[in-house]
Chain A
């Protein structure tokens, strides 16, 4: 066997194939970054302190880059299992386009740049939260929890919940009940969202040695977990309505979206695998789609209330809550 057969970093002509700009961009997990950008932007815009547009743009940009950097470090650490799973085989490292060392250097450099730039552009609280988010995602989730416990997605979900808190801190320089509740909303939303996906996605996590609830405890337990976490999510989402960033738009959205999500979780709980198999996991797929609408809808509602508030269309009542 020739050396070339070991080296997947060769093109069809047998010449070395260098990673292009787009391959490094793919290391940043752009789809995950879009959620980071959106929720961080809502946190920044909903905050009671306005920021200069360029400062705000810089803050969102470097929060996104920090999130992307943690994605690159995750791909560096998980390169061994990414080579095994079909879904991840095409990523730049398993595809042989970027070496593990390059991904590590890229991730570390971008982590440092993003934290320093966010600190310079806004404040140390926001920078510290971003640094902690990167640490949490890479060390706590990727290195420790992911391969150790089937509850990995529950605790690991915290990493995806930090961006609105960072956006809020970028504007206010502090952490408050509003930003903690935005964090809690995404934190509680992640498990039912992800487990609904896990029920209908035939994944090869087992081969990769990653414990997922569907395989370690079975699909019945996963269905129970989806219902319980959705029930726990409801009070968290309603609590936000009665803070300074809540308002009528958010309350209406919370009523409708929680009803929709709860109904879906209930339907998932009532079904068994035979019924799910029979209709091609139609309910699970619908609930997964609705879970995306749920989070997007609630955060858009926060923005709508922030816009109403900025035009003085919401009065401040005796409790400091929107006209109550």
Chain B
């Protein structure tokens, strides 16, 4: 991809999409909805996910890119950029838009207007834009039904066989997670659509999510929907986990997570984004200690998955994949996102926020309580030692808040000098704690300082 290609660079793509989206919002504003519902408008850079049933019997599931009088473009995991004509489509269904549509021939212009609101490109795609999309996805032409059967998808089920005469979508469905086959970008796109839907914590609660465990410095607070987890937990558009952080303007959704319950002998080897999954099997408290990993910080059950059944895989466990929908220095599937502590206090993260700086910045929001509880969970201290630790944490918290205020006054972006000062606060905190606790306790908690 050349640098001059508007679609070759993620930032350029987003800018381009944003411009089209703005047009789309205007174009969609006059749409008349069917089913008596208000007109739907795609409010994220991505279009809605559509289930398209073709007369040939094939089903395609993917992002609805655009519609026009003769058909639609979709982006699916199995077939990438795909073109369907209305005369070969028996039904389009958009689950999150509460829309189900059976095209008439010729297509009704008012119904097409309605459908445009669900697309990534409401004004439609020019031939040049289609070519650019195809190049971006390594295709010379879009997939069409006339090309034949789509490539095989993931197996429909794992685990228990469904009963006789019952098609095996039961139990652990994979059929509705077509996005998993296409690799990381599809996952992130689908997760971003979920992020739009659950931007409001109220919406998440209304949809059955509940908080589990406390806020963690690099991973936020997880909200789980047990129903979705037990249903299979692998659809990024209906993720079993949502992750929020508290910011100056209220709770902000920063990512989602997929999850699957693995029993003895099962592995996550067939799941996408190999190597990015991690496992939980202890108590919530143990796992939370291990979520901020250090050699002494509890059992090592929060391991990155080895993707092969081994000794540790004999126990039932939860395997999880974080998908960050906000900037993440180590990528969208990183275990921790060390930009989060800066986001919590309304600052842009430094270019490379590492774990230590992230943990230090966390002292300005919930960090004091978190580290106090973490230390209390790891070592037993005398009351006067606890008091000294609390005092050190309190002073460090004040120092980081002052530091953040100074950064804001200086333009809001931490300079390299400012980062050195943040490092100093962090180092000073742990020197004070080392002075305050017995050496046996320090030996256990020293790694928290790194």
Q: Do A and B bind each other?
A: no
B-binding residues in A (CB < 8 A): none
A-binding residues in B (CB < 8 A): none
